[in-house]
Amino acid sequence: MNTQVYVLYGGKSVEHEISKRTALAIINALDKEKYDVYSIYINNEGIWCNTGKVTEELKELREGEVDVDMTPTLSLATVLQECFSPGREHVVIPALHGTYGEDGTIQGLLELIDVPYIGNGIMPSAIGIDKAMTKEIFSKVGIPQAEYVFFTIQEWRRRDSQIFEQIENKIGYPCFVKPAKLGSSVGVHRCQNRDELIEALKDAFTFDQKVVVDKEVIGREMQVAVIGNENPECSVAGEYILEKSFMDYNAKYVDGNLIPVIPAHIPDSLHKKMQEISQQAFQVLNGSGLMRVDFFVTEENDLYVNEVNTFPGFTGHSMFPALWEATNGMTYPEIIETFIDLAIERHQNSRQIQYTRGE
Give whole-number Cα distances, 64 to 16, 35, 43, 141, 353, in Å: 16, 22, 10, 47, 39
> Cα(261)–Cα(263) distance, rounded to whole angstroms?
6
pLDDT computed for residue 79 by the predictor? 92
Q: Nearest Cα to 293, choosing from 237, 214, 230, 253?
A: 237
* pLDDT, mean of each 10-residue run, the chain (359 residues): 93 90 96 95 93 93 79 92 84 94 95 95 96 96 96 95 94 94 78 95 93 95 96 95 57 59 94 97 97 96 95 89 96 97 94 75
> Cα(132)–Cα(257) distance, rounded to whole angstroms?
30
pLDDT computed for residue 244 by the predictor? 56
pLDDT computed for residue 32 by the predictor? 95
The answer to whether the CB of 214 falls within 8 A of the CB of 147 is yes
Q: Nearest Cα to 63, choosing from 100, 17, 108, 101?
A: 17
pLDDT computed for residue 247 by the predictor? 54
pLDDT computed for residue 114 by the predictor? 93
CATH number of 3-117: 3.40.50.20
CATH number of 220-349: 3.30.470.20
Q: Nearest Cα to 10, choosing from 37, 38, 36, 49?
A: 49
**Residues annotated as part of the active site:** 15, 184, 318
Establish whether 294 is an annotated binding residue: yes
Q: Tell me, which fold does domain 147-215 have in CATH?
A: Dna Ligase; domain 1 (3.30.1490)
The reply to whether 220-349 shares the fold of 147-215 is no
DSSP per-residue letters across 239-279: EEE-SSSS--HHHHHTS---EEESS-S--HHHHHHHHHHHH
> Cα(295)–Cα(288) distance, rounded to whole angstroms?
20
98 conformational bin, left if phi > 0, alpha if psi -120 to 50, beta if neither? left
pLDDT computed for residue 87 by the predictor? 76
Q: What are phi and psi of 210, to 5 degrees?
A: -135, 140
pLDDT computed for residue 253 by the predictor? 45
Sheet architecture: strand order including 303-309: 259-261, 233-241, 220-228, 289-297, 303-309
Sheet architecture: strand order including 3-10: 48-54, 35-42, 3-10, 90-94
Domain spans of the chain, in order of start:
3-117, 147-215, 220-349
Tell whether omega for the bond before 263 is within 30 degrees of 0, i.e. cis. Answer: yes
